[in-house]
Structure 1
Amino acid sequence: MCRVIWFLKTLLVSQLFHFSASMNAITPNNSIKDGEVIDSTEKIFTLGFFSPGKSTKRYVGIWYYQDPDKAIVWVANRDDPINDRSGVLSINNGNLVLSEKNQTVIVWSTNVSVTSTSNTKAQLLDTGNLVLVERDTKKTLWQGFDHLTNTLIPFMKLGLDRQRSVNWSLTSWKSPDDPGTGNYSYRFDSTGFPQLSLYRGPDKIWRTGSWTGQRLIGIPEIQWSKISFSTFEDNEDELSSMYGVTNSSVRIRLVLNESGVTQRFSWDKRWIQFASAPMEQCDYYGNCGANSNCNPYNVGYVDFECTCLPGYEPENPQSWFYRDGSDGCRRKQGMSTCQKGEGFVKVARLKVPDTNVTHVDLSLGLKECERKCLSNCSCLAYTSAYAESEGGATGCLTYHGNMMDARTYTNTGQDFYVRVNATELALYKKNGSLLAKKTIVILSLVALLFTITLMFSFFRRKKKRKAKYRTSSFNLAASSTYLDDSFDIQEQDGNTRDPDLPMFDLRTIVAATDNFSTDNKLGEGGFGSVYKGRLHNGKEIAVKRLSKYSGQGIEEFKNEILLIAKLQHRNLVRILGCSIEAEEKMLIYEYLPNRSLDCIIFYETQSSLLDWGKRLDIIWGIARGILYLHQDSRFRIIHRDLKASNVLLDATMNPKISDFGMARIFGGDQIEANTNRVVGTYGYMSPEYAMQGLISVKSDVYSFGILMLEIITGRKNSKFLVEDSASSYLVGHVWNLWNEGKSIEIVDKALGESYPADEVLRCIQIGLLCVQEQAIDRPTMSAVIFMLGNVNGLPSPKQPAFIGNKISFVAGSSTSEGVGSVNEVTISMFQGR
């Protein structure tokens, strides 16, 4: 009897082992039904049936084995769903076939010619590639990597297989509930010099630029050289780009989503988005029209990203004046570039224009390329083909038509050489020489003034003069040349930029504000007042004047000067300069006519100015601004005082985050800090920051969540009172309604019924996720932006923080400054535990 039991156990184990061993392949004798899966050999990928989003339709797809949410990386029958769970994936007449209704109806097939119908198998490889192979010869008859959907994973190729006429390209899903072929595609454009481009239908909307020798120029450089690599092939067999990983444990994927955005994710116990494109206005194809340069970093007094290339002028000056550059630029009138004395002006750090109007000669160096272009009157510009190849720039691209879609980068890009006539060339050389001389003189003066300042400070301290709140405590004025409102500086590349931070003469500001007239007063806060002003040239400005009696604002003032001058983003307020004389300390900003957000959303007479579309745009803009601070700026910056009164609105209601006096700079890999000086505004502070002094990017996420709920509801968090409610505050009330399925009731009445309820509810849910009590439960700003742009299922929020009827702080308080209103109580300082 014991021997019988032992034999049965052995047989059972043997059968289970055989079944398990075959589960990375489908053979003529081994198919899978809906509900069953196969795994790759090392259990990196899984293939099985799934239903996307809220759909009940069934598809066959592949996902990472360890991903509990099954983020799909490939779909077999994307345009041919099964309506029930009768699907079977099997080998039929040598092909891999998906069938339904007891295998009587074929839904999808690999559809290739096979010599033996019983000699094939379908196997899921550890790369995620599903292959149909001949079992004896191991020859690949068909592979999933030749039929991409919306996702690129390591070792998938984008491009063209010229021998087999296969096009490797991504196409978006129709929606999160439908993986069918959508309207966006991401593919190689082989016209001219090869480059990857993103299309909406037939229209190009973004391009990566060409291969530099190490990467595609329009894709931000990622410092992953130890774990990943990129390749580019352009030969008679194929044109392709591919990235791979050196360690199979690394999980990276690129997704072309339903909105036409390419998103890059990495895996660290969950998918984390680390990049996306197109991301800003200059990313969009032809944003500034032909023969122009889109520069998103134009700061100071030039609030327009479009500039004409050297030798060109706006095609439509009136549209250009109104900040519409879509008509582009034309050759300056009377300019000919086919005479004696013409040459080239270098424009640095560009994603060079679209290469579909180029001639390519890879045998030439840059000097030979210049001579070739100069000898041909139709040649308008030139650049290197490979800017980052070994031994320096190589190859020659010459341009012979309208130059579209150039844009500037800060630390990357290529040098681009634009042809101009002799007169224009002389002008650029003269300006360059004058600029160099001026720079030497200014640096010498600064060094001299700095030395004098040090001596003055030494003797001043020696005499023990009180200087805590005087100009010497922030000695910027002593090391800078005072400037008036003649601030335009022409650089060699033709762009107009401000110096590091212009200094304004006090007399200029007094005249601009009519001696700080009360009629020009915009608002008042604990650190001083804000005034509207107009310079002699007509430029409107906003002046933040630090109160001479304010002892608590010196550090904040200094922080804001040093910090915001280095920030460049369309959703951050632009600082134009400062003025420091005697007891007067002032910051000069761009003037934003619609003042601050709180002046609109919290007042019934004004809130109707913002329909749902505008409110959602404001939410998007604030989120992009915070993401820039947290991730994309030169420093990782925590704002610490994000609130409605610190969001300013320009003439088109574009939001701009302001007031960086309380901001904190983090190191590149620093994620958290502790402070004994807790600053911020009551109602917007995260619990770990308010109670323990812990600062992180999640502190700003909490404030953003509060602000988001305020924008949706038109009510202040700190002043919301409801009788018979479990909470006196907005967050608590929204939470209660959310639990009861009634959160739509809290939407601002000024919106009427003209809003998409599902979109508003999704935003309320995102807002609640941002105000979770535990920082770890809150999403990052990149995740927030992803959730705003996608309608996939969102996590369920937990009970948020601070929803009780009373919140007590033992702290001093003051009123924080803000353009346009007197704000809520601001916590100026208290001791964190």
Structure 2
Amino acid sequence: MAHAATTAAALFFFFLLHAAVRADAAATLSQGQSLGANDRLVSPGGTFALAFFTPTEGDPSRRYLGVMYARAKEQTVPWVANRDAPVSASSAYSAAVTASGELRVMEGDRVAWSTNTSSPLGNVTLAIVDNGNIQLTAGGGDGGQPELVWQSFDQPADTFLPGMKITLDRRNGAVVSRTLFTSWRSASDPGTGDFTLGQDPLGSAQLYIWRRSPRGGGGAGGEENATYWRSGQWANTNFVGVPWRSLYVYGFKLNGDPSQRDGVMSYVFNTYNTSEYRFMLHPNGTETCYMLLDTGEWETVWSQPTIPCHAYNTCGANAECAAGNNGRPVCTCLKGFEPRDPAAYGGGNWAQGCVRSAPLTCETNVSGGGGGGVGFADLPGVKLPNFATWVTTVGDENACSQTCLANCSCGAYSYSIGTSCLTWGQELLDIYQFPDGEGYHLHVKVPASILDTGSKTRRWTTVVIAVIVVVAVLAGCGLLLWKCRRRIKEKLGIVGSRGKPRLPSLLPVRESRQDFSGPKQPEQEEAEGGKKCELPLFPLEVVAAATGDFSADNKLGEGGFGHVYKGKLPGGEEVAVKRLSRSSGQGLEEFKNEVILIAKLQHRNLVKLLGCCIQGEEKILVYEYMPNKSLDAFLFDPARRGLLDWKTRFHIIEGIARGLLYLHRDSRLRVVHRDLKASNILLDRDMNPKISDFGMARIFGGDQNQVNTNRVVGTLGYMSPEYAMEGLFSVRSDVYSFGILILEIVSGQKNSSFHHMEGSINIVGYAWQLWSAGKGEELVDPAVRAAAGAATAEALRCVHMALLCVQDHACDRPDVPYVVMALGSDSCVLPTPKPPTFTLQCTSSDRDGLFGGGHADESYSACDLTVTMLQGR
């Protein structure tokens, strides 16, 4: 008996000892378990942790239960449970899942905070997910699916994470429910602050930040006072108030129709790597997007409001705000308007705004100008005003203009692909003039007499400016030629930079030294001056040891510039090592410039450059390793093609498009890749696509749209007609290559595989034949066609988009922002593509048929010739 009692006591003690979940025990908490002061739950992937904490520089006597980034260097807490009810650090506190099925934060016997939930199903479990969401689920016994009882994503704090939604539900003009984010009280106090972010309650789909007055009470979701900031209208890929940053690239989308003010609209935020980005509302009212770097540090992607002009309606009605010296606002009345109170306006009181200098007549509105009619004054590059009305019955800018002219109460309109037709009443509020040429065009209705006077003044102004510009350009060219006479001699091979004959460089990205004329970047100067470079430099012996002395067993592939090897660094990190051949003709200076420039390109759909090695004649690039190798290894291998289901293929298409959007518009450098093809699309462990091989890339100036080159580089079959025939290339050249790539992904066949098909010699001609005949589904790879089911419409939409991308004339092809928007929106009506007339045949060995099995030893990289230079002879 004594022995039995001792055993029972030991078991009871053992149970009590393990009732609390230790730091690395699990990602879940069951009923009866608790989380103590030194315990934590960790998500399955180790991304997030749930634990008690004290804010950095906060009151050490106060403790909060919160979600934290596990690998961030500094304390980063996107969600706090008991933000307004901290527990005392000197007390006995814990978090527990109760028998009734709720999560409670306890301080002794006091309930500091709870989810106020219950479930009759029992078996309630608390789990932390890899996206930072805390979930309470119930049931799930006997193999059934557990039921979601509560989740932290429905009760956000100050941070918008991937997987969350910003929702607005309106019924009959009234708000039923909506998601609100509320700032911390200060950087060291997570209590409810003065700023709140959410959707416009009127249903315009804009995001607003509201500020409570110091005497305004209420917590999160309490009384909302003055509007502090608004995002502007959603333009399919970004907000009109943040035009330079395509949020769609970061997984930001709008579900719902903003032209319908009733219904459910929600902004969703989903990224491939759920820990990469977060949007945070700071205690000062600033909304900032952060990206988590591999170093564990946070990099700011964008932030607003940061200057007075970003704040809501700084200059009042019918006025525009432009940033002056030190960001101070400069207010100007719109054309056709004058200050409402000139004395107050001159004294810096802009709240009064402006009024029309002459009233508009209504009876001659539809004439559009002339005599006593009206017209439109163009205001380019602005944040569009508030309180817009979507006009869904028109499909082009001319119809939008006529709609506004025919409406006496319409005071302005704007039309773009992203926003369609928007009109405004007579009061135009919150207009900001962007300083860098970004933004949207606003057309303000004014009397025609004002436009006539302005046109005469503009003609004389244009003549004077033209004369001044011509004189200045001629003088500048003469001075430039005199200063650059030595460089010109070097370019012509008369003398080298060090008195030696200069050898021509074969690196296509350095076709002209003028590509990089002007002041050097600090990082470039440091690298060339032998100082510390921001990109790691690997010793040759380290790279050699990592690759087994460049062993053939570690070779992953080869291209026109050298071999690629798999390697493992001393820390265990797997890398891909690209060793440039000595015969590539790439000089040391060009190599350094290329490395420094590529290092600036950081995006989840671009392969990451980890470092380089420059030693003797060795020039080596070290990239992140992609375990699934390249897309062509799956797509064109009959044995592996079936591993790519349609969902994965569409995911790859979208990822490539987002990578191109970053290169063409959102990066600090404007880059044209010039060799986009399946073998240059690498796949990571989760089949996320990453664009690689920038050896042929070309950097555009800010005002360049098209460049002519005497070196045609790229791959036969992927080159656009104007590039292959005339050497003209632009961002639309990449769009053409992307169109070919879409057709290959959909069909699972190489471009050259179609040269035996009757009436067509490449994939473009064959796709056009099927699509125009209404048989586009026959182009879909049989390996996924049967399983695609409802996704067939999505595949046909991709074929449609591909045919738009491969149109003969560059001006007919869509730009990448439109491609990204259209691929992510089923409601967007695609225009009809023009039939292709240009074809380029690539010879290859005979194949058994379009979708035949082929020979087992047939290479899936056949006919993938990279052209370094084409010259007439």
TM-score (norm 2): 0.47
Instruction: Tell me: higher relative CO, structure 1 or 2? Use CA pairs within 8 A at least 6 residues apart.
Output: 1
TM-score (norm 1): 0.49
